[in-house]
């Protein structure tokens, strides 16, 4: 952002099409920075018990579809795509729309960062008996069993992140756990090294 702003401010970029590209890139990066700052602030509030959830009846299929569609826009130039499968006739749940959407976004963002050479990310939303299950699956390097119990702790980053130099704050999965627990649910991970990972949000179908 500093480089782009400096180039525009000093008049180095003379071509109008190139200037428009620079402004578009600045807008995109500003949005990403805004999300990052909001995520860190919200995580701090959650840690302090000061985050106020706003529960309301929500059609999860619609919510998940909206988040996936917005995330898909971020992938426009990356060659990735998200495949979404949703059960019909799911019950509406009382959830915090923004918070649960943020939890899904974090899982999608993780899947993207850890599977850069793989084109697809899979999202499944279904009812399993008395639970609603939201699963995000990738084809990344996977997570060793000994690391899986710690990856939801704040500032913990796995060996795959260090080996691949994947950027991050280390609070994305911790935020997901906070949000899901506030909804009376749990988040799980299934993964094997070399075989990708599946992160699953499990929510009670009633209540």
Long-range contacts of 72-76 (CB under 8 A, 24+ apart): 75/112
> pLDDT at position 137, please?
96
Residue 98 has pLDDT above 60, yes or no: yes
pTM reported for the whole predicted model: 0.79
84 with 65: CB under 8 angstroms?
A: yes
Residue 105 has pLDDT above 90, yes or no: yes
Q: How sure is the predictor about 174, in pLDDT bands with cuts at 50, 70 and 90?
A: very high
Q: How sure is the predictor about 135, in pLDDT bands with cuts at 50, 70 and 90?
A: very high
- CA-nearest of 91, 102, 38, 27 to 64 is 102
Average pLDDT over residues 170-175: 86
Break the chain into its structural domains and give their ranges. 2-43, 55-204
Supply the CATH classification number for the domain 55-204.
3.30.565.10
């Amino acid at each position: 952002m500093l480089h782009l702003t400096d180039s525009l401010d000093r008049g180095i970029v003379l071509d109008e099409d190139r200037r428009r590209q620079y402004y578009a890139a600045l807008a995109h990066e500003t949005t990403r920075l805004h999300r990052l700052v909001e995520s860190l602030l919200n995580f701090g509030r959650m840690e302090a018990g000061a985050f106020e959830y706003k529960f309301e009846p929500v059609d999860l299929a619609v919510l998940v579809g909206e988040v996936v569609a917005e995330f898909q826009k971020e992938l426009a130039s990356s060659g990735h795509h998200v495949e979404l499968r949703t059960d019909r006739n799911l019950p509406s749940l009382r959830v915090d729309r923004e918070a649960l959407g943020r939890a899904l976004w974090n899982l999608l963002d993780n899947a993207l960062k850890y599977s850069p050479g793989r084109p697809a990310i899979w999202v499944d939303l279904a009812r399993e008996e008395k639970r609603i299950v939201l699963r995000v699956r990738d084809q990344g390097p996977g997570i060793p069993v000994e690391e899986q119990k710690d990856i939801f702790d704040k500032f913990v980053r796995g060996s795959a992140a260090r080996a691949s130099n994947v950027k991050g704050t280390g609070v994305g999965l911790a935020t997901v756990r906070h949000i899901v627990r506030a909804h009376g649910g749990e988040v799980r991970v299934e993964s094997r090294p070399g075989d990708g990972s599946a992160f699953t949000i499990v929510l009670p179908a009633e209540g």
